[in-house]
């Protein structure tokens, strides 16, 4: 199972919006609405930010939103804040009953 | 409160074996889908293995054939046995929970570092 494809880095200024894409195949992202997104700060464990494509867990800011079209999912962060600077990973359940992560995207808040 | 605590990492010689543990509290391991996820230094997350609540097990290609995921219901603990270790297995290993019927990881441990080196 090959890793999902994410841009290596994105950046934005405080208050702006950014979008991170996550491209998979018809065996993972395109097969199910089981795409999730994780935020990871240096030295910390990942934190769930979005599940089932577009749902936010309790406690996650509504500045985070997710969507999907065919085999590409996206995470949008609006109203960028300094604390959003982190690595972001997409993840999808697959047709072989396994999971696959994206390569990760480093978000820099300028 | 849901809590996951990994242990068992350390410095291992190439070709060696290790068993990682993940002690859970606040929920029942056997009633959930429990996974191992690893992260090599300065690299991304890699899903490694899962044991489903029904007992089925699956592995990533990178560890298939030389790893075994298991659980001890009496200890509410998840394990990962890794054999024939190589430098490519050097990573922080996290255990993560997906509630049965869901396919996202809502709880993570703090990770345990495995370093494979002579």
> Shortest CA distance to B106 belongs to which of B13, B2, B26?
B2
Q: Residue A44 gets which letter from DSSP?
A: S
Q: Give which of A3, A41, A44, A45 to mutate to test B binding, by max B Cβ within 10 Å.
A: A45
User: B108: which chain A residues are within 8 Å (Cβ-Cβ)?
Assistant: 45-47
- Please give the DSSP secondary-structure letter assigned to residue A21: E
pLDDT for position A96 = 96
* The predicted structure's pLDDT at residue A1: 76
Q: Do B106 and A57 touch (CB under 8 A)?
A: yes
Find, among B111, B95, B117, the residue nearest to B16 by Cα.
Answer: B117
Chain B contact present for A96, CB below 8 A: yes
Confidence of residue A93 (pLDDT cuts 50, 70, 90): very high
Dump pLDDT digits (tens) for A14-45.
Answer: 999 999 999 999 999 999 999 999 999 999 99
Size of interface A-B (CB pairs under 8 A): 67
User: Measured at the alpha carbon of residue B61, what is the angle toward residues B60 and B64, in degrees to the nearest 5?
Assistant: 85
Contact B50 A99 (CB under 8 A): yes
Q: Indicate the length of chain A as a whole number.
A: 110
Task: Tell me how close the Cα of A79 comes to any Cα of chain B, in angstroms.
Answer: 25
The distance of B109 to chain A (nearest Cα, Å) reads: 7
* pLDDT confidence bin for A106, thresholds 50/70/90: very high
In this predicted structure, what is the pLDDT of residue B88?
Answer: 97
Residue B25: other Cβ atoms inside 10 A: 11
Q: List, for residues B33-85, the tens digit of each pLDDT value.
A: 999 999 999 999 999 999 999 999 999 999 999 999 999 999 999 999 999 99
Mean per-residue pLDDT, A60-72 = 97
Q: If you average pLDDT over residues B3-27, what whole number do you get?
A: 97
Is a pLDDT exceeding 80 seen at residue B114?
yes
Alpha-carbon torsion angle A82, A44, A28, B48, nearest 10: 170
- Residue in A34, A87, A100 closest to B47 by CB: A100
Cα–Cα distances in angstroms (integers) from residue B28 to residues A87, A99, B2, B19, in the given order:
30, 22, 10, 21
- CB under 8 Å to B39, separation ≥6 — which residues? B45, B46, B91, B92, B94, B111
What is the pLDDT at residue B5?
Answer: 98
Write out the two tokens for A7: 């841009």
Tell me the pLDDT tens digit for each residue of A74-91.
999 999 999 999 999 999
């Amino acid at each position: 199972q090959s890793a999902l494809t994410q841009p290596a880095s994105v950046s934005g200024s405080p208050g702006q919006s950014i979008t991170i894409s996550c491209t998979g195949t018809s065996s993972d992202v395109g097969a199910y609405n089981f795409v999730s997104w994780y935020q990871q700060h240096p030295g910390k464990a990942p934190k769930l930010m979005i599940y089932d494509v577009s749902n936010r867990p309790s406690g996650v800011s509504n500045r985070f939103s997710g969507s999907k079209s065919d085999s590409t999912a996206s995470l949008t962060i609006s109203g960028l804040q300094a604390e959003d600077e982190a690595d972001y990973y997409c993840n999808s359940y697959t047709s072989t009953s396994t999971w696959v992560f994206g390569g990760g995207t480093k978000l820099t808040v300028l | 409160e849901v809590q996951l605590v990994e242990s068992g990492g350390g410095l291992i010689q190439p070709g060696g074996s290790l068993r990682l543990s993940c002690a859970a509290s606040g929920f029942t391991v056997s009633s959930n889908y429990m996974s191992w996820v690893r992260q090599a230094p300065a690299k991304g997350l890699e899903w490694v293995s899962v044991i489903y609540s029904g007992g089925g097990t699956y592995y990533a290609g990178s560890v298939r054939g030389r790893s075994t995921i298991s659980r001890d219901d009496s200890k509410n603990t998840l394990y990962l046995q890794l054999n024939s270790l190589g430098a490519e297995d050097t990573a922080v290993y996290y255990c993560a929970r997906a509630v049965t019927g869901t396919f996202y990881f809502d709880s993570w441990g703090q990770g345990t570092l495995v370093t494979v080196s002579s």
